[in-house]
Structure 1
Amino acid sequence: MAAPIPFSEPPWLMGLPSAHYTDSHRKFQKAIRPFIQKHLLDHAIEWDKAETVPEHVWRDFTEANMLLPTLPAPLPVAWLKRLGIHELLGGLKVEDFDYMHSLIYADEMARSGLIGPPGSLTTGFAFGIPPILKFGDKQLQERVLPDLLTGKKRCCIAITEPDAGSDVANITTTAVKSSCGKYYIVNGTKKWITNGIWSDYSTMAVRTGSPGSGAAGLSLLVVPLKGCPGVSMRRLKVAGQVSAGTTYIELDDVKVPVENLVGVKGMGMRYIMTNFNHERLSVAISVTRQARVALSTAFEYVMKREAFGKPLMDQPVVRHRLAKAGALLESQWAWVEQFAYQMSRMPKDDADRELGGMTGLLKAQAGMILHECANTAVLLFGGNGYTRSGQGELVEMIYREVPGARIPGGSEDVLLDLAVRQLVKLYQAKTKALEAKAKI
């Protein structure tokens, strides 16, 4: 029996001490790993090549309540108990779930190294449902949450448009009230919408204000999709994560009841922003695990692959590449753990304010480190890393997913700039508060 390959697991799972994890976290990890391995990871490469995940996998996960850990912590305990859900796998009480459990779940779901298969299940659930939970009024929640939380129906988040990606304030999809006042009439297009093709509903960013109203004119609306008159959807072929169901949505005079407005008209931008901490941390965790899989797969390969009469690992240049990428990987993981720990100890409003910019930086750096680790793996695999079959097929697949880590969820350059602007804004606000306090 061989020891784990270096870099193949985070330090706390390699037997090293950590202050972040309790017995509850360790028990949860041991409970969910076999389920995820059996129902997802064992088939991830096969399903990603087929460009879709079978429908029964959605049922396998929802019937076991194994998509609930994609939601922000704390979980919606009152709702879950109303639906008869009191525990997650391993006996974890829903009220005890925190962001360290969330970290463990996201890391385990990405252990194949591919984001498409888990993303086909989790993305809409993780990011489409939370705004309804946090900001939706009672009647909207009563109509849609029971089916969404139990997986009877599916939801996606639809923000991005062909001409408005990271530039959310310039969304042009319109929602105008009908003459009778009972409906919003929605017109526009949404692009690169993960899980859209399978979704019954979309939590959608729409413009309810005038064309020049910017962020102040945005609202969130729960828009019916599958089978709804005026809605047409088609899948988009992207470089990686094809099995996640990236979708192009066209909306032509779609009638949506005014009761489907999420929260207050004109508050859409704020609602979207409060969703970003959870989204970007989730992405950073998964992407960091991808980097881990790429690097450890290369590490294992160069220990057995021979060239010039000796294993590649005996070449100093190979060890140098592994060392550089490994240092970046483990530094990133430590930062991911720190963020999850902080979010599990802070009220959400405080976390949104204090960590918002830095969570964007965390997500951006995860993409950069995935690029370094995937690039290292492909180079060390040589021709095998450039081939869509055989020994290097996994690292070749991961390499194609690098842009999917650096662009969606806020593109890298936008997030780098946002992080610093947010830090400046926070610094100025705190300085102003201290100066006001000193005058008292």
Structure 2
Amino acid sequence: MASTGTVFQEPRTFTREEVAKHNKEGDLWIIIDSKVYDVTRFKNLHPGGASVFFDDDIPGQDATDVFFGLHRFEVLERPQYQRLQIGVIAGEKPQIHGKVDGALSKVPYAEPAWLTDGFKSPYFTENHRKFQAAMRKFVDEVIYPDAQAREADGKRPTQHVFDRMAELNLHAMRMGPGKHLKGLTLMNGLVKPEEFDYFHELIISQEIVRCGARGYGDALNAGCVIGLPPVLNFGSPELKARVIPEVFSGKKFICLAVSEAHAGSDVFGLQTTATKTEDGKHWIITGTKKWITNGTFADYFTVGCKTEDGFTVILVERGEGVETKPIKTSYSSTAGTAYITFDHVKVPVENTLGEEGGGIFVMLSNFNHERWVMCCCSARSQRLVIDECMKWTSQRKAFGKPLNSQPVVRAKLAAMIARTESVQNWLENVTYQMCNMSYKEQASKLAGQIAFLKMYTTRCGQETARDGLHLFGGRGVTQSGMGRFVEHYYRIVPFDALLGGAEDVLADLGVRQAIRAMPKDTKL
């Protein structure tokens, strides 16, 4: 009986001397990392023109160094280029490898120290390490491919990604540790709900950021991370029972709608109003919101309103009178950044989050966690730039030598590494304090620390983005090819300095908190 399976054929083998004979325009072969490619027909389709194939050291020769001075490894993995391979060099094996799903990077400082072979950590347990391995595998296999496609076309993440995240209860875990995890199976049972801590959450945030697609990363329920906690902490039991399961399942989406064109950080300057109907059973909400992440596809809006008693937060469901329009920002529209209009929207008073007039406490309760998440993401984004720059400066040759042979290049790498290591270590210390403080203690003792941390982290990020741009040169401002991740980070990094409180505002907040704690009996 004949087999119906796929027949595996060994690749043809050639000697380097045989390949060298194919060095003419009508018969052109090259070698890249021990693999032989016939580029006779392709040369005229090459984006850089056919002339690049006729330099002295390319026709019939080993073009590995030339190729990796111009292209990323992923180019070789594209089907249209794989078809050009006709064989391999006899007795040789590939020495260069691209991205391996689930694997840790071997590039120095491309991973935080606790994930580096031989390094120990007082914070991360064996369970954290297993959790990280599972999370990385999930991100590389499920999230990363969709992230690259959606960042390019600007569409929201594919629903199956949200569904797969929901299967692991990742949406719930991104809210941090707490009662909301009770009874849930986390990461296929890898961690128990009562053992889940802020280091597990830090791992989730940092692994997602490795996609290098900021707009997409924010589209993966960033609105939920900042918009759902007010419902979790201040919503009525009936409201929580209805809304939370819908959001955790990835079937419905929520965002935080506070900022306005005339009022960003100044929440008391908001002009969106909520007035009660005569029977006192409903709010009538009128106004606009701007720069709202996930707003274009949100089903629920956690809205800051001006009421008779002051500032009040109300949960609004998408419906009559709610209109959302996309806003073009520095990064991909996949984040769903929106301008929102509320035109006499009728909302039950039961949707009030916290007390009427007590909205400032609802917002303040989430600021620490929001800013901490941003620090987690920024720290890992900077490490991605280090990874890219360490590879690039090793393989790119100038004046006959690798870029990293130049002292000025090594000085930039040193500064990038020092900044990123200091950010990560401060972040881990603050995370440890969060794990050992009640929510109330965090509010009183860590607000200043986290404010300083975010200010420092985002400033470091901007310096690292600038250094990365300088190292990549023209490729650092090109949205495709070798420098695309550095270009992307350089373009969007200023945004980090604004979210969750501008750098200068947070710096002042930290100092003011320190001044309030100054002992009155201490003098020089």
TM-score by length of 1: 0.91
Name the counterpart of 2:278: 179
C-alpha distance in 2, partners of 1:231/1:367?
34
2:170 aligned counterpart, secondary structure: coil
Q: How does 1:47-62 map to 2 (within 5 A)?
A: 47-52=150-155, 53-62=157-166
Q: Given that residues 157 and 193 in structure 1 are in contact (C-alpha distance below 8 angstroms), is that contact kept between their aligned partners in structure 2?
A: yes
State the one-letter code of the partner of 2:158.
P
Q: Given that residues 116 and 243 in structure 1 are in contact (C-alpha distance below 8 angstroms), is that contact kept between their aligned partners in structure 2?
A: yes
Pair 51,348 (structure 1): closer, same or farther in 2 beyond 3 Å: same
2:213 aligned counterpart, secondary structure: coil
**1:218 and 2:317 equivalent?**
no
Name the counterpart of 1:252: 343
**What whole-Å deviation, never above 9, does each CA across 1:306-335 have from its counterpart, x for those lacking one?**
111111100000000110121011000101
**1:124 and 2:124 equivalent?**
no
Q: CA RMSD in A?
A: 1.8
C-alpha distance in 2, partners of 1:150/1:46?
23
Q: Which one has the bigger helix percentage?
A: 1
How many residue pairs end up in the alignment?
Answer: 418
Segment drifting more, 3-12 vs 187-196: 3-12
**What whole-Å deviation, never above 9, does each CA across 1:289-309 have from its counterpart, x for those lacking one?**
111111220111001101111
Q: Given that residues 113 and 289 in structure 1 are in contact (C-alpha distance below 8 angstroms), is that contact kept between their aligned partners in structure 2?
A: no
C-alpha distance in 1, partners of 2:452/2:335?
24
Name the counterpart of 2:43: none
Name the counterpart of 1:70: 174
Q: Given that residues 112 and 293 in structure 1 are in contact (C-alpha distance below 8 angstroms), is that contact kept between their aligned partners in structure 2?
A: no
1:67 aligned counterpart, secondary structure: helix
Q: Given that residues 190 and 248 in structure 1 are in contact (C-alpha distance below 8 angstroms), is that contact kept between their aligned partners in structure 2?
A: yes
Name the counterpart of 2:144: 41
**1:372 and 2:372 equivalent?**
no
Segment drifting more, 415-424 vs 282-291: 415-424
Q: Which has the higher contact order (CA 8 A, sep 6+)?
A: 1
Name the counterpart of 1:271: 362
The Cα shift of 1:356 comes to 0.9
Q: Given that residues 173 and 188 in structure 1 are in contact (C-alpha distance below 8 angstroms), is that contact kept between their aligned partners in structure 2?
A: yes
C-alpha distance in 2, partners of 1:419/1:241?
32
The Cα shift of 1:336 comes to 0.8
Structure 2 gaps, min length 5? 1-94, 98-104
Which of these residues, 99, 108, 125, is aligned with residue 198 of structure 2?
A: 99
Structure 1 gaps, min length 5? 211-216, 436-440
The Cα shift of 1:206 comes to 0.9
**1:196 and 2:295 equivalent?**
yes
1:186 aligned counterpart, secondary structure: strand
**1:143 and 2:236 equivalent?**
no
**1:163 and 2:266 equivalent?**
no
State the one-letter code of the partner of 1:365.
Y
2:211 aligned counterpart, secondary structure: coil
**1:417 and 2:513 equivalent?**
no
State the one-letter code of the partner of 1:245.
G
Q: Given that residues 31 and 90 in structure 1 are in contact (C-alpha distance below 8 angstroms), is that contact kept between their aligned partners in structure 2?
A: no
C-alpha distance in 2, partners of 1:69/1:134?
15
State the one-letter code of the partner of 2:169.
N
Q: Given that residues 221 and 253 in structure 2 are in contact (C-alpha distance below 8 angstroms), is that contact kept between their aligned partners in structure 1?
A: no
Name the counterpart of 1:338: 429
Which of these residues, 88, 93, 112, is aligned with residue 10 of structure 1?
A: 112
The Cα shift of 1:254 comes to 0.6
**1:407 and 2:506 equivalent?**
no
Q: Given that residues 172 and 206 in structure 1 are in contact (C-alpha distance below 8 angstroms), is that contact kept between their aligned partners in structure 2?
A: yes
The Cα shift of 1:90 comes to 5.2
2:482 aligned counterpart, secondary structure: helix
TM-score by length of 2: 0.77
C-alpha distance in 1, partners of 2:189/2:415?
37
Pair 424,410 (structure 1): closer, same or farther in 2 beyond 3 Å: same
Which of these residues, 284, 287, 290, is aligned with residue 375 of structure 2?
A: 284
Segment drifting more, 343-352 vs 143-152: 143-152
Which of these residues, 124, 128, 132, is aligned with residue 25 of structure 1?
A: 128
List 4+ stretches of structure 1 deviating above 4 A: none
2:291 aligned counterpart, secondary structure: strand
**What whole-Å deviation, never above 9, does each CA across 1:87-124 have from its counterpart, x for those lacking one?**
33452111211011111111111112232212111312
Which of these residues, 350, 361, 380, is aligned with residue 452 of structure 2?
A: 361
Give aligned-pair identity as a percent: 39
C-alpha distance in 1, partners of 2:477/2:415?
22
State the one-letter code of the partner of 1:18.
S
Segment drifting more, 306-315 vs 85-94: 85-94
State the one-letter code of the partner of 2:451.
G
C-alpha distance in 2, partners of 1:89/1:14?
26
**What whole-Å deviation, never above 9, does each CA across 1:6-63 have from its counterpart, x for those lacking one?**
2211011112111011112111111111111111123423321211222322222223
